[in-house]
Amino acid sequence: MAVTFACLARRSMALSRPHGGRHMSDIDNGDFQERIQANFARQAALHTIGAELTRVQRAMVEIELPFDVKLTQQHGILHAGIISAALDSACGFAAYSVIDPDASVLTIEFKVNLLSPGRGDRFLFRGEITKPGTNIIVGDGRGYAIGDGPAKLIASMTSTMMIIRGREGITG
């Protein structure tokens, strides 16, 4: 009986994956919307800046933020730290939608490109999962300023997150 390379590759991948060889995007992750809403409610930093969770879908989350002069830098535009925090949170919550209900995520790296000044009445931050994985998840975020006229892209992010399981004090 001949064993093909493709057959060996499938066996190898199945053995290297937890959850019986299923890919993260194939597992039943329970009511991820409820988990994301509960996690958002525990995020004191997001409440401090006035952020709102406005859209939750599998592999995509949107967070909105009203303009507030207290969140600006010296030129009156939205501070890069606020933009980064909102994009990081949007990507992190999107990751929650593709993991096991008993797992959690922590950001281990991100890169932000500030593309245009953060001027607007409101801001929209969208996080989307680009590559779900069994240990590492990669997400991409986009930040938009909303005001008179069409929404304007002000920032982009690439985020790398680590899936956490069984660690004391870190729960999904």
CA–CA gap between residue 98 and residue 56 (Å, rounded): 12
pLDDT (0 to 100) of residue 99: 95
Phi/psi at 86 (5° precision): -65, -40
Domains, in order of start, for the chain: 31-164 (3.10.129.10)
How far, CA to CA in Å, does 16 sit from each of 7, 21, 126, 150, 170? 14, 7, 31, 46, 24
pLDDT (0 to 100) of residue 27: 53
- List Cβ neighbours of 105 (8 Å cut-off, separation of 6 or more): 92, 95, 96, 99, 137, 161, 162, 163, 164
In which band, very low, low, confident or very high, does the pLDDT at 149 lie, cut at 50, 70 and 90?
very high
Query: If you compute the radius of gyration of the chain from its CA atoms, what whole number of angstroms results?
Result: 18
pLDDT (0 to 100) of residue 28: 59
Residue 24 has pLDDT above 70, yes or no: no
